[in-house]
């Protein structure tokens, strides 16, 4: 294991992350593996989502165990990649014991990155299987990797005017040493704002940023669904004890960290989803965890932008912001 200080999601014991990056095609996927089954929920605030096995996170669903999460590019095509995670876990003897077989539970969500580089490049099952094989508790690699390979920010005027974004991760600590980790894929329609409200990634105009919120407020809108395509995905994991209801509450509060720094957020063109998973037994009030979740989500989002590099003809934040 690396000796580097770990300030990412894998700082939580029992969490491993693996990426598969298709740099030539401009897409990829990321898997989060849990050493012991997690209990979780999802807050779906976007209006254009694409997912698989999300029903397992519903409060009324009888199952509570989640064994992994898969985030992928490729839009709905990328959902097929989840079968590679399922196969890997089954071969490893991981899953719900059905007597005749073990059934892994792998909630999966995707971003739309088909407009970025090669629209025929999509994550597939073999890539997900390899990402599982390579998964590690080492600090999460960030930037234009995994599910963040094809991520871009600020698409009011299309991908051609966007800023290259990516995948970011963070961890924060709270009362009693409780931890909240995040992993964020920033593929938002809106712009990304820093801690001071300044745009650091988004729709570009000339040598600066357009300011999508102000542009939309003047009446300019984008009506064609699917092009350029958007979605911000966030996975939150804590070592506090949560049931499904509490996890859903924390996931919703965690979305506040994204809403404060993506402008606009939750548009009809976004498929934003925030997952929250519990893998521990620390007794902490969900309100405190919700505030930590918002902080972790915000930091993961900003890392996704700041760690990205220029790719596919698009500049990154580091090329545009002093």
Asked if residue 225 has pLDDT above 70, the reply is no
pLDDT bin (cut points 50, 70, 90) of residue 270 is: confident
**Residue 202 forms part of a structural domain:** yes
Round to whole Å and give the CA distance between 253 and 43. Answer: 9
Round to whole Å and give the CA distance between 317 and 322. Answer: 9
**Residue 4 forms part of a structural domain:** no
Q: How many domains does the chain have?
A: 1
**Residue 116 forms part of a structural domain:** yes
**Residue 258 forms part of a structural domain:** yes
pLDDT bin (cut points 50, 70, 90) of residue 221 is: confident
Q: pTM for this one?
A: 0.94
**Residue 233 forms part of a structural domain:** yes
**Residue 3 forms part of a structural domain:** no
**Residue 2 forms part of a structural domain:** no
Q: 315: domain CATH number?
A: 3.60.70.12
For the chain, percent of residues with pLDDT exceeding 90:
84
Residue 216: other Cβ atoms inside 10 A: 17
pLDDT of the residue at 63? 78
pLDDT of the residue at 1? 45
**Residue 161 forms part of a structural domain:** yes
Look up the domain containing 107 and give its range. Answer: 9-320
- For CA atoms 133, 135, 137, 138, the dihedral sign is positive
Q: What is the mean pLDDT of the chain?
A: 93
Asked if residue 246 has pLDDT above 60, the reply is yes
Nearest to 214 by CA among 196, 188, 191, 231: 191
Asked if residue 2 has pLDDT above 50, the reply is no
Q: CB–CB of 261/301 below 8 Å?
A: yes
Asked if residue 3 has pLDDT above 60, the reply is no
């Amino acid at each position: 294991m690396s000796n580097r200080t770990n300030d990412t999601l894998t700082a939580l014991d029992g969490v491993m992350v693996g990426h598969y990056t298709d740099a030539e095609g401009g897409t990829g996927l990321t898997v989060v593996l849990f050493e012991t089954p997690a209990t979780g929920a999802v807050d779906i605030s976007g209006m254009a989502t694409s997912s698989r096995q999300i029903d397992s996170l519903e409060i009324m669903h009888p199952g509570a165990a989640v064994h992994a999460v898969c985030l992928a590019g490729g839009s709905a095509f990328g959902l097929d990649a989840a079968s590679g995670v399922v196969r890997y876990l089954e071969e490893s003897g991981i899953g719900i014991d059905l007597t005749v077989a073990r059934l892994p539970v792998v909630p999966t969500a995707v971003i739309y990155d088909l407009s970025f580089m090669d629209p025929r490049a999509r994550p597939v099952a073999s890539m997900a299987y390899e990402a599982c094989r390579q998964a590690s508790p080492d600090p999460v690699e960030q930037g234009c990797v995994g599910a963040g390979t094809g991520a871009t920010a600020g698409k009011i005027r299309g991908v051609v005017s966007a800023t290259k974004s990516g995948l970011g991760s963070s961890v924060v600590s709270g009362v009693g040493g409780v931890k909240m980790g995040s992993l964020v894929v920033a593929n938002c329609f809106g712009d990304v704002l820093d801690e001071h409200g300044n745009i650091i990634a988004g729709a570009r105009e000339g040598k600066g940023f357009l300011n999508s919120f102000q542009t939309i407020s003047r009446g300019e809108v984008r009506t064609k669904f699917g092009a350029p395509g958007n979605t911000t995905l966030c996975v939150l994991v804590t070592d506090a004890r949560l049931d499904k209801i509490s996890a859903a509450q924390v996931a919703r509060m965690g979305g506040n960290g994204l809403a404060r720094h993506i402008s606009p957020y939750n548009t009809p063109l976004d498929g934003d989803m925030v997952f929250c998973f519990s893998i521990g037994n620390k007794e902490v009030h969900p309100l405190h965890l919700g505030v930590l979740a918002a902080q972790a989500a915000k930091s993961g989002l900003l890392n996704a932008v700041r760690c990205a590099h220029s790719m596919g003809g698009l500049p990154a934040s580091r090329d545009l912001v002093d």
